[in-house]
Amino acid sequence: MNKKLAGIFAMCALLLTGCQGAKESSKEITPPDTGWGKTVDEVLADWNLDRDQVEIFSETNSAAAIAVDTEATVFGEQTSRVMFQFINLDQTGATGKPVLCEVDITYPDDADMDTVKKEMEKSYGSSQDSITRYELYQSLGDDQLPEYTYKKADQLAVWSGESLKDGIPSDKSTEYETAWEAYQPGLTTDNWENYTEQASMATAVCAYGAEAF
């Protein structure tokens, strides 16, 4: 069985708007049929779903994860599962609620991924040659930025929004760095500038066959 999936990630967009105190996100890379920064119940409402129609893997004041296993058409093809990931920008959980930061879409074996790719291109433009993503976890004992580069291939298309550097006011870089270090493992003053140049507000991938990850 070859895994077929699409993934959309917008942690940087959420952190940026969280610092600004607004509820706006990347307008270039957006999730299907909903929006970044929405709560679990808001996403369910956008998808016309009730809580008893989804699998709730976890839901705390800090984070949440839910899955839609009913057939849904996303990017022109029926899915086998759509996973929504949420995070509270206040990691203490004292204020706020978890909001949408990632969508992972899995397709069945008979899905036409060329159709998915074309529909994603309609939304996000042509695939870029490569993108860099930074995960929010790192291996035990590793103090480096968990950085991964994905390069365009026959069965892998990649997209990214504007760079983080373009979205941060130049006179507030230090303030934003302090806020970011609470979320991004391996981030330091020494690598902050390079990180802002490489990190994107939001990213998306379409992968299948040997390129799926």
pLDDT in tens, 76-108: 999 999 999 998 877 666 678 899 999 999 999
Average pLDDT score, the chain: 85
Expressed as residue numbers, the domain containing 62 is: 4-211
Lookup: tokens for 34: 């909903």
pLDDT at 168: 83
Lookup: tokens for 158: 């990649």
Which residues does 10 contact at the CB level (< 8 Å), separation at least 6? 25, 26, 29, 31, 36, 100, 101, 102, 161, 201, 202, 203
Considering only CA atoms, give the Rg of the chain. 17
Give, as one character, the DSSP assignment of residue 29: S
Dump pLDDT digits (tens) for 24-80.
444 478 899 999 989 999 999 999 999 999 999 889 888 899 999 878 999 999 999
pLDDT at 33: 93
Structural contact between residues 159 and 29, judged by C-beta atoms closer than 8 angstroms: yes
Number of domains composing the chain: 1
pLDDT at 17: 55
30: helix, strand or coil: coil
Structural contact between residues 73 and 48, judged by C-beta atoms closer than 8 angstroms: no
Task: State the average pLDDT over residues 120-124.
Answer: 93
pLDDT at 27: 43
Which residues does 94 contact at the CB level (< 8 Å), separation at least 6? 61
Dump pLDDT digits (tens) for 157-194.
999 988 888 888 878 888 888 888 878 889 999 999 99
Task: State the average pLDDT over residues 191-212.
Answer: 86
The sheet carrying 203-208 orders its strands as 55-59, 63-68, 81-87, 99-107, 4-9, 203-208, 156-160
Q: Determine the Cα–Cα distance for residues 68 and 82; give it in Å rounded to an integer.
A: 5
pLDDT at 210: 60
Q: How far lies 30's CA from each of 57, 109, 170, 209, in Å?
A: 23, 25, 25, 25
